[in-house]
Amino acid sequence: MMKDLTKGSPMKLILSFGIPVLLGYLFQQLYSVVDTAIVGKTLGGAALAAVGSTGSVNFLVVGFCCGICGGMAIPVAQQFGAGNDRDLRKYMTNGVWLCVIIGVLLTLSTVVFCRNILTAMHTPEDIYERAYLYIVTIFAGLPAYFLYNFAAGILRSLGDSRTPVIWLIVASVVNVVLDILFILAFHMDVFGAALATVLAQGLAGVGCLIRILRGYPILKTQRADWRWDGRKVKNLCLMGLPMGFQYSITAIGCVMIQAAVNDLGTVYVTAVTAAGKVSGFLCCPFDAMGSTMATYGGQHVGAGKLERLNQGLRACILLGLGYSLIALVVTWLFADPLNMLFLDAESAALLPLARQNLLICVAFYFPLALVNIIRFLIQGMGFPPLATLAGLFEMAARGGLAMLVPMFGYTAACFANPAAWVLADLFLIPAYFHCYKVLKLRHPSDPLEQEEPQVQVQVQAQAG
């Protein structure tokens, strides 16, 4: 069902749109959690470390895919807010062409250079081959990630946040079944875990695609809609590529930290992997807030209702603060049981290390909430380059802490993410007010008099 976020109480709209998005992220995270839990419990700590050692490069590549798809959905949200169905469809179809081109290039390059990447990350020799087998399978399945993320982005742009989560629920169940089948029955080791994830992701993508083709007359295309439109392709790239690079730039800092942790040894890699999986699950509400605010910002800029941007921002920040406090209490009480979900009995001695990493991260969740809320809102408003710059601040913080790991050890690695979030906020908070001021100055009335308002917004961002 389509949802117009420009009418009604911002808090109620954010909750009604965001809760299905949250469920989607939870089930998507369940892919990784189930893989890791089964690997850690059945294959042992070494296999868990092998999968965990690829986490940052996995985030770099898959995050680039997610970022591009999310960015290319923003013009669709803006056209939906403007009521321009014709351009909405043309942006969608040209986005498909870009996904095909970028997806093929990214898949081929990552598969070919996979070993070089793992070597550059100082992956320990005792887990190297398993790490390669796992991550090269994920890379080969990148088209499935493009399919799901672009299709889900289109649906969310129309206010439909339910269809993506429904198919992720189905895919999650399939993923669990395939994990058990491939790992326990067929003894396919970490390759089975990766293959199950890719197949489940592809299933979710096909489900969303069927909904697009059959569910919404507004998305029914004609042959003319599929013509390559250079102007729209340029605008899609201006929106999508900065968001993709934002994820990748952020991930580069994570790769630096991962390489530093890898140098500490397999024991620390295992502890960080367990804590990271717990934290990844706990962070899902922040991811949902970000996706919600991107659509919220896009529709409101498209509709010219700029005064409601601040209202939505305040409402979402309150939600982020409340959840951050709850997460801290829960983690303080149950950190060890949560980490043990991913550790076998032989790895239980690592619990103090995993607990330290997890608690330090959760203590800084409110700065993380601000990063997601403000950055994605800025992107939805049409200023992705500024949002990307925040990623540079995160990378700088993580890179700086990575250089301190040889001197201060594991504790420095634990503070890498919190330092990145705080530094990004110092840039993002004033950046939002700058973006809002630019929009108000350039469009004191209705910003939709131009044929393609998001192009104008992008020009403003560059001028600002």
For residue 44, tell me if it sits in a domain. Answer: yes
Q: Is the pLDDT of residue 450 over 50?
A: no
Residue 461 is predicted with a pLDDT of 36
For residue 2, tell me if it sits in a domain. Answer: no
The two tokens of residue 239 are: 């929106």
For residue 4, tell me if it sits in a domain. Answer: no
Torsion of CA 287, 290, 296, 297, to 10 degrees: -160
Residue 437 burial class via C-beta count within 10 angstroms: exposed 0-12, middle 13-18, buried 19 and up: exposed
Residue 95 is predicted with a pLDDT of 94
At 299, the amino acid letter reads Q
- Cα–Cα distance measured from residue 106 to residue 101, given in angstroms and rounded to the nearest whole number: 9
Residue 209 is predicted with a pLDDT of 93
Evaluate whether 115 touches 132 at the Cβ level (below 8 Å). yes
Evaluate whether 144 touches 103 at the Cβ level (below 8 Å). no
Averaged over 157-163, what is the pLDDT? 86
- Cα–Cα distance measured from residue 61 to residue 252, given in angstroms and rounded to the nearest whole number: 10
Residue 92: CB atoms within 10 A of its CB come to 27
For residue 409, tell me if it sits in a domain. Answer: yes
- Quote the DSSP letter at residue 444: S
For residue 1, tell me if it sits in a domain. Answer: no
At 455, the pLDDT band (50, 70, 90 cuts) reads very low
Q: How many domains does the chain have?
A: 1
Report the predicted TM-score, pTM, of the whole model to 2 decimal places: 0.72
Task: Compute and round to an integer the Cα radius of gyration of the chain.
Answer: 21
For residue 118, tell me if it sits in a domain. Answer: yes
Residue 218: CB atoms within 10 A of its CB come to 12
Residue 449 is predicted with a pLDDT of 35
Residue 200 is predicted with a pLDDT of 92
Averaged over 304-321, what is the pLDDT? 92
The two tokens of residue 217 are: 């007359």
The two tokens of residue 154 are: 């289109």
Residue 281 burial class via C-beta count within 10 angstroms: exposed 0-12, middle 13-18, buried 19 and up: middle
Range of the domain at 297: 10-463
- Cα–Cα distance measured from residue 312 to residue 296, given in angstroms and rounded to the nearest whole number: 8
Each residue's pLDDT tens digit, 74-115: 888 888 877 888 899 999 999 999 999 999 999 999 999 999
The values of phi and psi at residue 228, to 5°, are -65, 120
Residue 459 is predicted with a pLDDT of 36
For residue 39, tell me if it sits in a domain. Answer: yes
Each residue's pLDDT tens digit, 231-267: 999 989 988 888 788 777 777 777 788 788 888 887 8
